[in-house]
A and B are shown apart, each in its own frame.
Chain A
Amino acid sequence: MSEQTVKPATRGAGSWLRWTVAAVFGLVYSFAIWVAIFALVLASQGNSGLTPAGVGVGLMPVLFPVLVYAGIVVVGRRLWVWKQALLFLAGFALVGVFWLDVVMLQVAAQSSLVGAG
């Protein structure tokens, strides 16, 4: 997650802007991570608990925002800051979509993800 602010590609506005954008979106992404962890903990505390597969599926929306964020930090380093901000935005949209997909998967395959009581 470290940024190389020395790169000449950090053009225009100084690197402080880049850091600010990364920090703000970091908060947003960590919100998504927190939601996923919260849901996972809640599900595992249910009366029947989770199977290993259930834990794996529950971990996916925890890891996904991290991957997206890291990817955009790396790729967007060479872009203008506002373009990187747009990437962060689209990435977060993807995170939301992915999260709902996983929720649906958890419902559809609950028989194999939730412990058998």
Chain B
Amino acid sequence: MSSEPQGAPDPAPEHGAAEPTLARGWRAVGKGADSVHTEGEPVTDPPSATADDDDSEAKSFAGDEVVHEDQPVEAGNGALLGIGILAGVYLLYVIGWFIGGNRLDVVGDLLLANGPIYTIVKWTAIAAPAVWFAVVFVLTLRSRTWVRFAWLIVGVVLLVPWPFVINWESALMGGVQ
């Protein structure tokens, strides 16, 4: 206390007492990250996140760690970029399902005798990527960023518009597949 810091970089002098802070939206990782406070966020005591006992829901969505129950997590720049890229992928999926679903029209009508049922299923599939994205977004508002990304990536894997990607029509034409 009494001695002045010697040599080495002095952390955030104006805050004194060696309490480094980060600008809003950033998050410290690695050794000693727990002691780094992010501006604009309530100070948390790291390991004891179990303050509110009745929050059985907190751990429920894929066992994620919930940061703050009341505040959506601020996304950093990288997270925003990633979300944007994934949103673009999902948009492409919607288009892919639209095209692929319409291509399957003939078959769908054949399989279901006719009409409206296939159309309903088709539009469900077209809307699926958007629905998945929105649901993941809402349900992970208070989760850590990686949890949100994990579920979005799961969606990217599950919702691939195969009828658009694969050339299944060659089989329909009676050729080799």
Interface check A67, CB cutoff 8 A: no
Chain A residues in 8 Å Cβ range of B132: 90, 93-94
Chain B residues in 8 Å Cβ range of A78: 56-57, 60
Interface residue SS majority, chain B: helix
Given contacts A9-B56, A43-B111, A79-B60, contact A104 B139 (CB under 8 A): no
Interface members, chain A 6-50 (any B CB < 8 Å): 8-9, 11, 32, 35, 38-39, 42-43
What 0/1 readout, one digit per residue, does chain A (80-117) give for beta carbons within 8 Å of chain B? 10010011011011111101110110111111000000
Chain A residues in 8 Å Cβ range of B131: 89-90, 93
Interface check B20, CB cutoff 8 A: no
- Counted as pairs of residues, one from A and one from B, with CB atoms less than 8 Å apart, the total is 106
Chain B residues in 8 Å Cβ range of A63: none
Chain A residues in 8 Å Cβ range of B172: 107
Whether the Cβ atoms of A42 and B113 lie closer than 8 Å is: yes
Whether the Cβ atoms of B168 and A9 lie closer than 8 Å is: no
Q: Please report the C-alpha to C-alpha distance between residue A90 and residue B155 in the assembled complex, in whole angstroms.
A: 10
Whether the Cβ atoms of A80 and B112 lie closer than 8 Å is: no
Taking the nearest CB of chain A, how far is it from the CB of B11, in angstroms?
A: 41
Q: Please report the C-alpha to C-alpha distance between residue A86 and residue B101 in the assembled complex, in whole angstroms.
A: 24
What 0/1 readout, one digit per residue, does chain B (130-146) give for beta carbons within 8 Å of chain A? 01100110110000000
Whether the Cβ atoms of A42 and B135 lie closer than 8 Å is: no
Nearest B residue to A95 via CB reads B124
Whether the Cβ atoms of A104 and B121 lie closer than 8 Å is: no
Whether the Cβ atoms of B122 and A100 lie closer than 8 Å is: yes
**A→B interface (CB under 8 Å):** 8-9, 11, 32, 35, 38-39, 42-43, 75, 78-80, 83, 86-87, 89-90, 92-97, 99-101, 103-104, 106-111
CB-defined A-B contacts under 8 Å, sample of 7: A35-B117, A42-B112, A79-B57, A89-B135, A99-B125, A100-B162, A104-B168
